Structure formats: structure tokens, C-alpha cells
Structure 1
Amino acid sequence: MGITVALALAIQVSQASVVGVVRDRITGSELPGAVVTLTDLDRSVLTDAAGRYEFRDVSPGPHHLAVDVAGFESRTLHALVPRSGRMEVNLALTPDPVYVGALEARPRVPVPHTENVGTEAITATFNSLASVRNHPLLAEADAFSALGSGEVYVHPESPHGVMIQGGTADQTGYELDGIPIFSANHAAGLFSAWNPDALSVVGLDYSSDASQTLSGVVRGVTKQPGEVTRGSAALSTTQSRLTLDGPLGIPGFGYVLSARAGRTLRKRSDENYLGGESGDLIGKVEGVLAGGRLRALVFQTENEIDVASEPEAPAPRAGGPPRSLFEWEGSSLGASWNRPLGAVNFTVSGWQARAGATGTWASPETPSGLRSHRADRGVVAKAEGTLRGVSVLFGVRGSSTYTEYRGVPEGETATFLSDANVRTVGAFGELGVPLGAFQVRAGGALTGARGRVYSAPRLVVHWRRSEAVSVFAEASRRQQFTHSLRTRESPAAGLLPTALWVVSDEGLPPSESEQVTFGAVLTPLPGVHIRSTAFVRRLRGFAQASASSTSPFATGSVEPGDASARGLAVDAGFSGSRYGIMASYGWQRVLYRVGDVDYRPSHGATHRALAGVTFYPNPTLSFRLGGTGEWGRTATGFDGGFEWEACTLRDYGFEFGGSPAVRNDLLGGVGLPDYVRVDLGVRKHWHVDTGPVDGALELYGTLSNLFGHENVLNFGLDPESGELTPITMLPRGPLVIGVEWRF
């Protein structure tokens, strides 16, 4: 919620008035018919057609101001009313769609690219939970997959990270309610480790307070606790989840609690089928404290994956080879306190977060092992608001990061690669100055680490040419003080989708990104939103495993790498009362360098397109048709047998067999055919009377690859014939079926 409180005292008025405008936080549009209440005086009014409200003759002193409107989170705040004059309190509410039986109404169907307007579309892009659920390309709601666009790459079948504007997954940060998360990904049918039922908004932030990552931060906001206990649950062929929220029993406090477990389908008689388990937990307590709002969050995730080390191998108990095993986990604990004072909003937060991973790569030729650990502590204090028309952001932060990484080649003692700690102290800020039709935002961050000071400046110029057209330009520099030792081009990258952290030191200094972006935002008609960008980017000094590492993680020395990226992207959304349409196109040229070798990474496809439509023939039934295409794809060659079957119901789950060894002499050197896939999904729900909260039961399913296009993950070298054999991806068949219910 964004809240701007401005006081303007009119001397000749004997008693105070409280006035303001209520808006939709996502679209920025006014909300008529909202109920605004001064609860201490038991006075209520409705907002007019322009979203405005007014209370006259309000007694001075502290008051509670509450606002409520169907389909949005209810909000209550403290207002210190002056003895005279006008007090303006403008409120922005986050959408929280509710079901109201046969009277259910949605003015427009939200889908990605329809909810970012104005200057917010420049500094950040975000999706409400409603648009994630309506995403026409997703079989099930997934917070990270929904971020895919012309400039954000998410692998369409085995995602292992969010890659922004040519950067790697390890250069993207993750925060939930402002608390850092270091193990945010699952694998084998699940991607995001954030239960979507516990979220209200998720998006990408490129602002100055997100500057300690090279590509930006994925920020999630958990849902607001309800005034009565509510719940949702789901059971599908990939996962089971449960979410509860409601009042805590302490006046002014509420809670959100969610738990989820992944489901791995497999043929028990076939050892090539992937085994393991995954799960995540989110807990939040939120309430009013000392005139502000306190939020405390706990997050935890655990994952275990085991796969056959040789294709078509017999079970280990039958004398077969051992299985490769990967485990990773993470936990975060933090709290924040937020309070508006006048026109400025103050926030203080603190956290501790950790992540760990272990692995055994049971390759017959080059077996190896892994142990990785990271532990962080940090505090942030910031103030943001608008003073005399100038937007202001200023903050300070401090953190301590400890990492330990050991790679263990078979037959050797542990190869010590990293055991270090880094402490950083810094400040960040931005000023946004209006200059007629222009707004200039200048700022950045200064960070001290290991006796040096690093600068990360940022400049944004925004020209609002008209109500429908905005143009912007941005130049920025960023540093990142941690590196990951995943072998990013390994065919097994999707089985270990977590960063393996080491902190920067004298031999591996902080990595850096410099970037220039130009763009435009168009809103020519109601419900139509188009965003286009062009970028040029240079990355330097990020860690890459040396040519001696052929497993999915580094087991020897590490080399600094460089990269360059340039691209164009167009994202469009069209929203109507019965449909939502989204479309994205991206063109890019991405080139990475390690040592004296240049190569194109697997996430650097030249052309990428996403498009889909979600159609509601009636309020309880929807159809989703979505397509994905990639052209100009490359992969890295590998040695060794390899068997892959996609994670579908037709194939009874996810199959992975073998220990493909990366061919560093073939980095990005294998050209792949075009990728084309079209999916069709359907959802149907029924309303159920469950008492104070209207319940709903929903069934859904998705049929994947309607046209049966043979898509290729990679090519493997047949050890007997010496010929390249395609490793194919999702065939035509049912992808997922499930049921959800809300109560």
C-alpha cells in the first residue's frame, strides 16, 4: 500500500476536515463506492465517481481511518487530525479478488502486462495474484514463471532461475516482504518456492535500494490477513498446499500461514525416474504497533532430488550403480516496522537468512561431491515520500555474509575453494524532481566493503508526453558481492536450481554491471498497456567454473567471466470484462567470455515470443490458450549417456538418467532447432456456502504441446555410433490436473 499524507492548514477554518482519494494500487485508477470510516467517531462516507471522500468538522487528535471496498484489501491507518485546516489522506489499495457467489463481478480480467502504469512501469514491473492465476501460459499459478517477458527469461520446461536482460539466474535477488531469500527455487515440476496462495503481489524492482544485485530483485508481498479466518487448499499432480489467514486474537494483529509439498510422480519399476521431495513454509504476523505497522516473517524451504547416474540403470539394491543426489535448503527470519510521519514513510527492517546445498554427482567417469553454505545478517532503515512535489528515497544498510564452499573430486581430499566473510555498510537514495512534462530521478548507492568504497549511480529521465504516452531513459551501474559456483551450462542445471554462493575476495572481486535502457509506455485505450525497451549491458568479474569442471558444480579453480548483452523487448496486455490477452517479444544478442573463450549461453536465444488469451464465457468457467516460441537457440555439448523424459502425466512424471559431462570445448556450440509449444487449459469453479466467507471449489487441467512439435533440449553424442542424438522435451499430452478449494 502506498500512503501519502499531506497537511495544508487553512487559518480561517475553525474546525478540521479530512479529505482524500482512494485508488487502485495496481492500475492507479480511482475507486468509486469505497467505504471510508472514521471508526472512533462511527462516521462513514462513500467515495464519489472520482474516488474522493470528505469528512467535515472532525475533532482534533488521533483517529483511526479505515477503507473497505469489494475486491481489495481493507486498510486501517492512524491519522493525527489538526485543530483546523484540511488534512489530505490519499490511499492506494492492493487488489484482493473475492468470490461473492452469483454476484461475482470483475470489471476487467487481469493478466500480466495489464497492471503496470505510469512511473511504476519504469522502476518496476509487477503482477497481482489475480493476474498470476489468470496467466494463460501457466498450468498452475507460479509467481516466478509469471514474470517471463520479452526481457525476462524463464526456461519453459525446466526452469532454474529468473534471468533478466541477458544476466544469469544467480545475478537476480529475491525478497519476500523485504526479507532476503537465498533458496527461492524448487525443481522437477515446481519452480517458485513461494506458495502463490500466500502472496498478493510479485514483481521485479530495479530501483537504487535493489542495487546489491546485478540484475535487480524479485520482490514478493504476502497477502493481508483477513478480519475472519480464511483458508485455501489445493491438490494436483505436482503439489499439495494449504494456506490460512485471519485475526491472531491480539487486537489489531493477524497472521498468514502457508505450507506446500511437491509431488513427484514416478514408475516404481523404472529407476530412471527422478525421486525426491520438496516443500516450503511461509509464516507472517502483522499488526499495529507504536503508531506504525509491524510485520514479522519466517520462510523455509527444503529440497531433495535423486537421479540414476546411468541411463536405463538397474536399481542400486540389484547391483546397479549409485544414484546422484542433490539437496538444498534455505530459511529466512526477519521483521520490519513501517510508519508514516507527515508526507514521509519510514521503514526499519532486520533479518537473518541462510542457504545450504550438498551434492553427490555419481558419474562413472568423474564422480564428485559438493558442500555449500551461506549465512547472512542485515539491517535496513529507509525513508520515502513526497516533499513539495519532489519524491525522496534515502536509506542506510549494513550486512554480514559468510560463505563456505567445498568441491570434492573423487579420490582427492576436499578441494578448498572458499571459506570467507564480508561485511558491507552503505547508503542509498534517489530524488525525483518534476520539470514540467519531465521527471528526473537521480541517485544510487555507496557501499563500503574490505576497505574500499563502491559506487552504484542511477539516473532516470521520464517524459510524460501525454496521458497515453511516456518515454524514459535510464543509465545505471551495479555491484554484487557474492558469486555462484554452479556450472550454468550443465544439462543437469535444472536439477540443482540454487545458487552455490561464495563471497568476493582479493582473488575474486565484486562483479559489476553497467547498463543503458531506453523505453516507452503506451496506454492508448482503457485496458490496453504496452511497454517497450531497448538495452545495452556490460557485465564484468562474475565467477565461472574452470574448464576442469564437468559436473553441475565447480570442483576446481574458478575464473572471472565477462559478458555483453543488448536487446529489444515489447510486452503488451489487453484486458476486457471477459478476456485477458498478453503478448511478449524479445530480441537479444548475448555473449559470455571465460578465459579466452566466447560463447552464447543457453538463455541467450536470439528471438523469444510469448502469447496467450484467458477467456471467461461465464464468471465460473475459463479457457486458457498460450504459446511459446524460441528461435536462434544454442546449448553446450556433453559426453556420456543421457536419458530425459518430460514431467507430464503421459510419461508418468519426470525421467532423468545419466551423468552428462560438460564439454567445455563446446560451450554454447550446439545449435538447436526452433522451440514451439502451444498449451490449452481449462478451469471451472463452484461456490459453496461455508459461513462468513463464501467458499469455492475449483477443478483445472492443462493439455500441453497441442500440435505435437518435437522440441529439443540438447544433442547427446551416442557412444556407440558417434552420432548426435536429440534429447526431446514435452510431447503432446496432459501436463497437470488438480483441484483447489477456498473456505
Structure 2
Amino acid sequence: MKILLGCVLLNVFFVSFCLAQPRFEVTGYVRNAQTDAPVASATVLLLDVGLGTLTDSMGYFALSLPKGNQTIQVSHQSFETQQRTLTARANMSLTFRLTERVTLLREATVTGSQPGQNVRSSSVGVTTLSVRTLKQLPTLMGEVDVLRTVQFLPGVSNVGEASSGFNVRGGNADQNLILMDDAPLFNASHLLGFISVFNPDVVQDINFYRGSVPAGYGGRAASVLHTRLKEAKATRFGVSGGLGLISSRLKIEAPLIRNKLAFYAAGRLAYPDQLLKLFPIKALMGVKAGFTDGVLRADYFPNAKNKLSLTLFSSADRFRLPGDSLRQVELDGSQSVFNWQTQMVSLGWSHYLSARWQIQTTGVCSRYRSTISTPDSAQAYKLTSGIDYKQVKTGLSYASSTRLQTEVGLSGILYAIRSGQLEPNHPASQVNPLFLPNVQAVEAGLYGQAEVTLSKRLSAQVGLRYSWFGRMGPAKIYTYRTGASRSPETISDSVLTGAGRFAKTYGGLEPRLSIRLALSERASIKAGLSRMIQYLQQLTNTTAALPADRWLVADTYLKPQVADQASLGYFQNLRNDAVEVSVEVFYKRLNNVNDFKGGTTLLLNPYPETVFLQGSGFSRGLELYVRKNVGLLTGWLSYTYSQTRFLVFGP
């Protein structure tokens, strides 16, 4: 008791002695040395006295200290500890700038899907790739390319060397629906197909459907490539970029309203002309090429139940040839200049009615223009063609549990096609102007789909889509003599359709079905059936990605393409889902496939029905796919053995 009483008296004496001394106040701020942002909840401690405090949300602190030499220590779990010795003789203000602490942790991988999702999902013929996977693959001259990556997947072949176009399971390049978010791209390549228009800095992931295409997608007969862009969720201003042999890129992101509104802007600029100068090849002398593209994305979260997304995209290409080896019109000229541009705007609104109900509405406006010209004074011309696309799509989804997910929706599309305008490009030009009539059409779709888990081993994805298409007036439809081949010489009459009326309509059901039977936790068998109808078609007679191909819509003579496909596959994961293995077989029946008469001209032809032919055929094949997801070495190996045959006959 005597010892305890002595300690208490000693403590009281020490405190009284400290309080009797003159005291001063020290105030100040604690900030991040790299960003100058305030550091909240940092500990400010007087080591000699044992008194301390915490900084507030602005990094501010206030502390009373006795006269004399004192040591102040500032610490935070995310920053390096800092100490400072000072002599207290008056009130003072201090600022501490802490350096961020770097802590080495074991690698953590975050994926958008659960391990083994390829085995557990009901879809067949579907591949999902993240942007992280894309950046790990070998690149061409340092350029990460979405479309070139797709060419390495099973069932896909490129349309030509150094081209980003691709064919899927016996289909043509125009049978692929390429989407940036929800907006279609009618020319997804730069430099005549050398590079795709997708900037890897803004790509989130890609979903490639070549088998089980969800009922929400329509309008193409072969595949759907849906590229999702990253959301704008920047919490502070940031700048990033990169330099490449062909192009350089820059990205800027920043918040506008904290935790509510943010944006990013990314762009690329190409300079292949400088690269061509390194190769003194006579055939490349005088070749000029370049492109620019830019993406602006803004996301607004007014509250927890609503989200607005705005995406703007623009790209422009210019390619000049010293000779006229690739000219597309029967005119003489010393050089050809190709220009093509894409402008797109997409506005999306997501509204959560509850934890299970959600409405998504999207409006899209897209414009594509291609121009071919030559500057020669005597034969100077400018040929312009393109397509305008407007769409409104809304969908209502419901998820009762992991056993049932449903979605219903509808969409409307307006096409406005500029068939071709030939104009003289110089006052002394001898070229006569020629203007083909523009074409307008409407496409509507109503769809519903459900993914249901029937038991632990059996699940299914069922969908049904009804599409309707109408070719709008004004339109002039020619009739030809019965029994004669269609040609300008066999025209017998014509039928005029006024504005506001439909010259020709089509429609049909597009069922989609896929079933999964689980053999074990890491093995399953899947089967799928689908029908897809394509009303918008591209006429081309070259494998090069030239921006001069002509778009047409279904009419009296050009019937919509129809693809019926059946797939069967075996899927298995090995080594705790580290390795994915799949084997798929497919059979596809194609109707109304396009071909062309020999020696015909597609551009500036006022009678396109006289040059194309349509037929039917099939495609069948076997696809092997092995993918390693984790470890020092990752990637995949694919092999496709397929056969495609068509029977085309003239009228």
C-alpha cells in the first residue's frame, strides 16, 4: 500500500509540474507527398510527453505541448512514419508530407466470372476475354488488337493476311455483328484492315458468340462480337498513355462530381508514314497513311437506383496510293485516295426497380462514310457512300435467384443508306456526276429469354426473337422479262413506291436453345440450336478491307440471309480449373448466300440485282480448344477442321 500510494503521489506531482510549465499550441496539416491530398486519421504523437491526437478528414490537427525540446511523430498505416524535433517557444503551425508505403503482397487475380464458368454455364460456342488477357498476348508492332485476337479462337478464320476482318463457321465478314457497347461498327479497322478501331486503354472485356447467341442480339447470321468499354469511375485526375511504332495513345480521366459523375477521354494518333520511310521499297514510294480515333465516356450515378452512361466515338482514316491499282471505278488516274470516318453516340439508362427487377434503355446514333477520290485535273472525281444507323432498345430483366433469370425487350432500327454519289472534284474534270437513289429501311425486334436451372445437373437457356423488316419508299423496283437473265437489256417495267409506304417486307421467328448436362463438377455436355436472320447485307468482291464496299437491304430480289445452326460440345476443366478443354462439333445450314457474276461492277451500278446471285449451302466442322488460365505461362491453343459448300445459281 505504501508503494502504491507513493506512485499515485509521484504521478500527481509530475502532472502538476507539467501543467505548471508554460504551454504552447502547435497546429498543422498532414498531406500525401505524391498527390498533396489530405491524410485523414493520421496519428500525431508527442514522444517525450506521451500525448497525441488524430487528424480530421482535411488532415488538420491541433496539439498542446510544453515549453522546450519536443519530438513529434506522425504515422499512418498506408504511409511511412515521419518524426520531427522542434523547440517550443511560441505557438506554431506545421505541415507534414508523408510518403506512401509500398507493401509487397502475393498476387491476387480478380475475374469477372467464377472458376469453371465455361463448364457450369448453359451457353455453347461462347468465349469471354478480359482486357488483361488481351494485353498478355503477343502483339503486332506493339499494338493490342481485339479483332486480331478473335482470329485465334476456334471456328474463326481471317479474310486475308494483314487484315482484321474475319469469317466465322463458314460465314462472310458482313455476317458478324461488331458492337462497341451497344453501337454497331460498319468498318472496325484502320489502315485498310491492319489495326482495329478498339483502343485497349478503354476496353473492359469482349464477349464473342458464335454458337449460343442470346435472343437480345439480331441482324447478323454468323456471330456477335460485343466489346464493352470501361466505366468512368475516376476518383482523382489521372493521365496515362503509350508510344508505339505505328501509333501513340493518351488517356485522361477525372471526377466531375465526387462519387457521382466522372469521365475519361482517350485517343490515338497514327504515323505509319514515318515507318514506311525506313523501307526503301519502290512499290511503297508515295504511299501515305494515317488515322485518328477518340473515345469520350461519362457515367453519372444520381442515386443508388439509377445510372446514366454517355459514349462518344469518332475515327478517321486516310490512305493514299501512288498508282491506281486499287481503283474502284472505271476512270483513269495517277493515284487513289481513300477516306473513311465513323461517328457514334450512345446514351444508356439503367434503373433498378428493386433488387430483382431492372430496366435498361439505350439509344444509339451512328454514321459511317467512305470516300474515294483522285486529284487529277482531267479525271478528278469524288465517290461517296455510307450508312446512317439509329436504334432504340429497351429491356426488362428479372432474377429471382441463381436458378432463374429472365429478360424481355424490344428494339427499333432505322437505316438510311447512301448508295453512291459520284461528283467531279476539279473545275476542269470531265467526269459526269452520278447520284444513285438513297435507301431507307426499318427493322424491329421483340425478344424474350430465360436461363433456368432445372436440377443440379441439368440447366437450359431458352430464347425466342421475332424480327420484322420493311424496305421503305420512295423506291423504284425494276421487273425483268420472264425466263431471261436479269440485265439492263431485259428490263420490262418498273414499279414506284411512294414515300411513307413499304416496297417490301419480311419477318420471321428466330428461336434459340442451349442445354447443359453436368457429368461432374468439372465436366459437362452442351447442345445448342439457333436461327438467325440478316436483312442488311454488304456487297463486296474483294478480300481486302477496302472502304468501298456497298451496303444493301433486303428487297424483292435480295432476300434476307438465314442461318440455322446445331452445336454439340464436351467441356472439361483440369487441375482445379487452371486448364480448360473443350471439343465442339457444329452443322450450319445457310440460305440466300450472296455471290456475284464474273466481271461485274458493284459500285455505281443502278441495277445491283443484275450482278449478284443467291444460293444455299452448309458448313460443318470440329473445333478443339485448350486454355491455360494461371501460372507463369498462360494462353490457349485452338484447332478447327471444317468444310463449307455453297450452290449458287442464276435467275
Note whether the superposition's TM-score is higher than 0.5.
yes
Structure 1, gaps ≥5 residues long: 1-99, 312-319, 598-743
Distance in structure 2 (CA, Å) of the matches to 1:185 and 1:111: 27
Which residue number corresponds to residue 267 of structure 2?
259
Distance in structure 2 (CA, Å) of the matches to 1:473 and 1:583: 22
Structure 1 residues 593 and 107, CA gap change in structure 2 (3 angstroms): farther
The reply on whether 1:283 has 2:289 as its aligned counterpart is no
The reply on whether 1:145 has 2:148 as its aligned counterpart is yes
Residue 351 of structure 1 deviates from its aligned partner by 1.1
Work out whether residues 614 and 650 of structure 2, in 8 Å CA contact, stay in contact via their aligned partners in 1.
no
Which residue number corresponds to residue 372 of structure 1?
385
Higher-RCO chain (CA-CA 8 Å, sequence separation at least 6):
1
Which residue identity is paired with 1:286?
A: D
The reply on whether 1:589 has 2:640 as its aligned counterpart is no
Work out whether residues 235 and 259 of structure 2, in 8 Å CA contact, stay in contact via their aligned partners in 1.
no
State the aligned residue count: 485
Structure 1 residues 499 and 433, CA gap change in structure 2 (3 angstroms): farther
Show the 5 A alignment for 1:458-497.
458-489=512-543, 493-494=544-545, 496=546
TM-superposition CA deviations, 1:579-604 (whole Å, max 9, x none)? 2132111111123455469xxxxxxx
Show the 5 A alignment for 1:617-696.
none
The reply on whether 1:502 has 2:552 as its aligned counterpart is yes
Residue 158 of structure 1 deviates from its aligned partner by 1.4
TM-superposition CA deviations, 1:626-647 (whole Å, max 9, x none)? xxxxxxxxxxxxxxxxxxxxxx
Distance in structure 2 (CA, Å) of the matches to 1:415 and 1:377: 27
Which residue identity is paired with 2:238?
A: R
Which residue number corresponds to residue 326 of structure 1?
338
Residue 418 of structure 1 deviates from its aligned partner by 5.8
Work out whether residues 527 and 575 of structure 1, in 8 Å CA contact, stay in contact via their aligned partners in 2.
yes
TM-score, normalised via structure 2 length: 0.67
Q: Helix, strand or coil: the match of 2:419?
A: strand
Q: Helix, strand or coil: the match of 2:132?
A: helix
Show the 5 A alignment for 1:434-473.
434-436=453-455, 437-450=457-470, 451-473=505-527
Show the 5 A alignment for 1:89-104.
103=104
TM-superposition CA deviations, 1:437-462 (whole Å, max 9, x none)? 21122222112222443211111111
Structure 2, gaps ≥5 residues long: 1-100, 326-331, 425-429, 471-504
- The alignment yields a C-alpha RMSD, in angstroms, of 3.6
Distance in structure 1 (CA, Å) of the matches to 2:193 and 2:535: 31
- Of 633, 637, 642, the match for 1:579: 633
TM-superposition CA deviations, 1:146-190 (whole Å, max 9, x none)? 122121223574114132212111111122222223232112584
Q: Helix, strand or coil: the match of 2:170?
A: coil
- Of 123, 135, 138, the match for 1:136: 138
Structure 1 residues 198 and 137, CA gap change in structure 2 (3 angstroms): closer
TM-superposition CA deviations, 1:520-557 (whole Å, max 9, x none)? 22112231112322111122224444323368997963
Which residue identity is paired with 2:246?
A: T
Structure 1 residues 116 and 552, CA gap change in structure 2 (3 angstroms): farther
Distance in structure 2 (CA, Å) of the matches to 1:418 and 1:475: 39
Which residue number corresponds to residue 231 of structure 1?
239
Structure 1 residues 276 and 173, CA gap change in structure 2 (3 angstroms): same
Structure 1 residues 401 and 156, CA gap change in structure 2 (3 angstroms): closer
Residue 330 of structure 1 deviates from its aligned partner by 1.0
Structure 1 residues 551 and 277, CA gap change in structure 2 (3 angstroms): farther
The reply on whether 1:179 has 2:193 as its aligned counterpart is no
Distance in structure 1 (CA, Å) of the matches to 2:572 and 2:398: 26
Which residue number corresponds to residue 359 of structure 2?
346
Q: Helix, strand or coil: the match of 1:195?
A: coil
Which residue number corresponds to residue 535 of structure 1?
586
Q: Helix, strand or coil: the match of 1:465?
A: strand
Residue 137 of structure 1 deviates from its aligned partner by 5.8
Structure 1 residues 102 and 304, CA gap change in structure 2 (3 angstroms): farther
Which moves more between the two structures, 383-392 or 281-290?
Answer: 383-392
The reply on whether 1:207 has 2:214 as its aligned counterpart is yes
TM-superposition CA deviations, 1:296-317 (whole Å, max 9, x none)? 1111111111123268xxxxxx
Structure 1 residues 299 and 120, CA gap change in structure 2 (3 angstroms): farther
Residue 569 of structure 1 deviates from its aligned partner by 1.0
- Of 168, 181, 185, the match for 2:172: 168
Q: Helix, strand or coil: the match of 2:133?
A: helix
Structure 1 residues 515 and 232, CA gap change in structure 2 (3 angstroms): same
Which moves more between the two structures, 220-229 or 555-564?
Answer: 555-564
Work out whether residues 199 and 222 of structure 1, in 8 Å CA contact, stay in contact via their aligned partners in 2.
yes
Which residue number corresponds to residue 60 of structure 1?
none
Work out whether residues 124 and 567 of structure 2, in 8 Å CA contact, stay in contact via their aligned partners in 1.
no
Work out whether residues 320 and 336 of structure 2, in 8 Å CA contact, stay in contact via their aligned partners in 1.
yes
Which residue identity is paired with 2:165?
A: G
TM-score, normalised via structure 1 length: 0.59
